[in-house]
Amino acid sequence: MKFAEVGPKEVLARLRRAVRNSFNIHWTEHAEERMVEREVTTRQVMLALQEGGIDGDPVLEDGDWKITLVHRAAGRKTRVVAALSGDQVYIVTVI
């Protein structure tokens, strides 16, 4: 499916639907390491997924959407890079 057929809002809506079920969320080892290194909590990542705004346009790579979300809470900005594959969300990295 081409980006023109599915805009950023639709990709974000699909991701938000997917993260409603925690069984759809998968954490890469890299993301977990960055969370420890950067002192980012699971709650902060989840807030970014559930409430964050899109940072740049989602990119379609090999059939999966790659999306960067940003969320600010308690004066701290959290960026999460996630891949959306069907209804599965893979946390790629946390910035």
- 10-residue block means of pLDDT along the chain (95 residues)? 71 97 98 97 96 95 95 93 97 97
pLDDT at position 48: 97
The residue extents of the domains of the chain are 8-94
pLDDT at position 43: 95
Residue 81 sits at φ, ψ, to 5 deg, of -100, 125
Rg of the chain over CA atoms, in angstroms? 13
Q: What is the CATH number of domain 8-94?
A: 3.30.2310.40
Confidence (pTM):
0.91
45 three-class SS: helix
| Burial of residue 20 (number of CB atoms within 10 Å: 0-12, 13-18, 19+) | exposed
pLDDT at position 5: 72
pLDDT at position 17: 97
Q: In this structure, what token pair is assigned to residue 6?
A: 């599915």
pLDDT at position 2: 46
Question: Looking up tokens 């980006």, which residue turns up?
Answer: 3
